[in-house]
Amino acid sequence: MRINASKSLLLVVDVQSRLLPAIDNADSILANTVWMVNVAQTMGIPVLATEHCSQRMGVTDASIRSLLPESSIVEKEYFSAVSEGALLQAPDADRQQWVVIGTEAHVCVQQTVLDLLAAGRTVFVVDDAVGSRNPRDKDLALQRMRQNGAEIVSREMVAFEWLERANTPVFRDVLKRFIR
């Protein structure tokens, strides 16, 4: 199944200031997250973000938070962002396709993805925009999410499927600003 821009939502899971320094390859995960948010916003695709226990874990990294309206950020205590109910009540949460990025792949990302799948959503996990403290945990989480029905993709796979075709103003804008 291809990712369709009009059916998609981008979910940023717990890319928070106190957790990020412990994440393997954190600089790349953060850069790819910012890239994904910018591409989604350029194309008019809604973006939601979660913050896990922000009083202890800090808020979403400033480079991401500055791009998002406050109304798109969902606070949570459960590892799965779906468990408390607020995520699926957020604006645009009725979209069928969820593109998921964030940390930690084997905890909050995985539990959220499994619950989104159980709720009937189609889920795409962006390999180069998810991370864990331990690379093995990330690898196992990606395997498990795939075995349960999530598709594992790259950031460019998502961008080009959202774009769908060349020779449009949005294609030229995304190509110029983000692909080259």
CA separation for the pair 96, 2 (Å, rounded): 12
pLDDT of residue 122: 98
pLDDT of residue 139: 98
Give me the residues paired with residue 51 across strands.
75
Q: What is the pLDDT of residues 107-132, one digit of tens each?
A: 999 999 999 999 999 999 999 999 99
CA separation for the pair 97, 123 (Å, rounded): 6
Q: What is the pLDDT of residues 147-168, one digit of tens each?
A: 999 999 999 999 999 999 999 9
Instruction: Round the average pLDDT of the chain to a whole number and report it.
Output: 95
pLDDT of residue 126: 98
Q: What is the pLDDT of residues 33-69, one digit of tens each?
A: 999 999 999 999 999 999 999 999 899 999 999 999 9
Tokens 């948010």 belong to: 37
At the second CATH level, the architecture of 5-179 is 3-Layer(aba) Sandwich (3.40)
Tokens 């009937």 belong to: 120
- What is the band of 180 on the pLDDT scale with cuts at 50, 70, 90? confident
